[in-house]
Amino acid sequence: MISTTVTRKLLGSMCGFQTPRLTYAQSAATAILRDKEIIKSRELEKEELRPLYMDFQATTPMDPRVLDAMLPYQVNYYGNPHSRTHAYGWESESGMEKARKQVADLIAADPREIIFTSGATESNNMAIKGVARFYKAKKKHIITTQTEHKCVLDSCRVLETEGFDVTYLPVKTTGLIDLQMLEEAIRPDTGLVSIMTINNEIGVKQPMKEIGQLCRSKNVFLHTDAAQAFGKIPIDVADWKVDLMSISGHKIYGPKGVGALYVRRRPRVRMEPLQNGGGQERGLRSGTVPTPLAVGLGAACEIAQLDMEYDHKRVTMLANRLIQKIMSDLPDVFLNGDPDQGYAGCVNLSFAYVEGESLLMALKDVALSSGSACTSASLEPSYVLRAIGADEDLAHSSIRFGIGRFTTEDEVDYTAEKCIHQVKRLREMSPLWEMVQEGIDLKSIKWTQH
Amino acid sequence: MASSSRTQVLSLYRMLIKESKKFPSYNYRTYALRRVKDGFRENLAVDNPKTLDVLLNQARESLAVIKRQVTIGQFYTTQKNVVEGLRNVNF
């Protein structure tokens, strides 16, 4: 039996310490014991260089133009946008309504269909719980997928405890859903289908238009979590036949703490509010709308609309540059997610025979993550990668590179060079890599010695 | 393009570049420079006076935004980023 401390040390060996080579059994034990966090948080010293930011799926820096639009509402125009009796209220209201239109224009919706929220997590909670609870007398079934964001899956879990029936659709190895499987899953009592537009970990883009068509023909409401897609790809809610759409501000160079939910008016989608009170936002989301944040979201939307093609071209160019550099220099690197049906700015790579956490630690001057920020604290392999059928080992060795509006060629080149160097170094230290080089098939090895 | 508007365009371009270079943040600076250059290049062929007027006004607004944001950026500078000015990196 191997003690925890030994295992910790062994885990450490993959992170750069010189320790004796692992035996098979010990190596198996390292795979099991991943309950402790390796990467410790630490603030930068005064003279230290800042890491490069390559985690644009987690959040984006605010665009200076967005901050510029927000500042007047942070200093002078502080009125409550719902105050109807004075100029302070009116000017805030007009700022908020302009922002609502900017958001609506980006998805070809009517401004009256936009509800401001605190972010995509709230929007997702509101849409799923709100619609399900409103129609619960007749519609007891909800469909979602296994690769959804945690907040969608968790909202569904809550509904399960309230007596709803939830189907978690599996996805294909590319990360795409099977339309036929979705069609078969829809029952007469299905009230809502929730499928994310672009996955936050592997960047896969679902065929929303086909899904929308299918749901409309079956008379089922369709909700989509578009946090990663909104502002990055053209979206038309009428064309997609989406009934509810969650939107986030800080993924599109806007402020954190603001988002929106699109709720269709025709045919009307009704929902039970999560938050009760003053009846703001058509009674669906009571509470004062934070005018500066809403204005910031609106400004971010306008820039996204004007520069969508420009940004997309550049992000695609940089992503291809990164992939090409890494893949041409390193064998056994795998791109997770469908290479054609995806958002270019999200590059998820698996480096075989290297532990993702060790690589992240070795790449400490590049801000990267192994997946969703919400789950990256745990060393559990990503459930998204497991859902697309990635091997346990490959799921452990994955890293997500996020590229965005402010990424430069130099940053991509630095990241690629550093990554190649560190993967080579870690592989040289890895007994697994040595065995593979000697021609041993790792799959044929029995790791336990009982 | 009339010579008067040509002078205006060139002077605005120069001012935008000059201001953009002042962004203390590496990413904002490189983005602003790139966007200004690409923006002017995109509209190189424009000779309709009305369109030109609209574009010139947009450029003036952008200049004002950049000036304000540079000032704000200068109040809250941070450490330099890893790739800034150093390409001879020791791995």
pLDDT band at A265 (very low <50, low <70, confident <90, very high): very high
| pLDDT at residue A156, as a whole number | 98
pLDDT band at A406 (very low <50, low <70, confident <90, very high): very high
Q: Which residues does chain B have within 8 Å of residue A412's beta carbon, measured at their own beta carbons? A: none
Question: Which of A64, A406, A414 is nearest residue B69 as measured by Cβ atoms?
Answer: A64
Query: Can you tell me the distance from the alpha carbon of B79 to that of A80, in angstroms, rounded to the nearest whole number?
Result: 38
The pLDDT tens digits for A312-347 are: 999 999 999 999 999 999 999 999 998 899 999 999
| pLDDT at residue A33, as a whole number | 44
Question: Is the model's pLDDT at A378 over the cut of 70?
Answer: no
Q: Which residue of A has its CA nearest to B28?
A: A406
Question: Which of B28, B66, B72 is nearest residue A406 as measured by Cβ atoms?
Answer: B28
Question: Which of A406, A414, A422 is nearest residue B89 as measured by Cβ atoms?
Answer: A414
Q: Which residue of B has its CA nearest to A410?
A: B83
Q: Mean of the per-residue pLDDT values for chain B?
A: 91
Residue B87 sits at the chain A interface (C-beta within 8 Å): yes
**Among A79-93, A253-267, A332-346, the least confident range:** A332-346
**Among A7-11, A72-76, A105-109, A161-165, the least confident range:** A7-11
**Between residues A40 and A164, the one the model is more confident about:** A164
- Provide the token pair at B53: 């007027």
- Residue spans of the domains in chain A: they are 64-303, 308-440
Which CATH fold topology does A64-303 show?
Answer: Aspartate Aminotransferase; domain 2 (3.40.640)
pTM: 0.89
Q: Report the 10 Å Cβ neighbour count for A328.
A: 10
Query: Can you tell me the distance from the alpha carbon of B61 to that of B56, in angstroms, rounded to the nearest whole number?
Result: 9
CATH number of A308-440: 3.90.1150.10
Quick check: ipTM above 0.90? yes
Residue B89 sits at the chain A interface (C-beta within 8 Å): yes
Same topology between domain A64-303 and domain A308-440 = no
Residue A159 sits at the chain B interface (C-beta within 8 Å): no
Burial class, A384, CB count within 10 angstroms (exposed 0-12 / middle 13-18 / buried 19+): buried
A47 Cα to chain B: minimum distance (Å): 7
Query: Can you tell me the distance from the alpha carbon of A206 to that of A223, in angstroms, rounded to the nearest whole number?
Result: 13
Of A299, A319, A194, which Cα lies nearest the Cα of A252?
Answer: A299
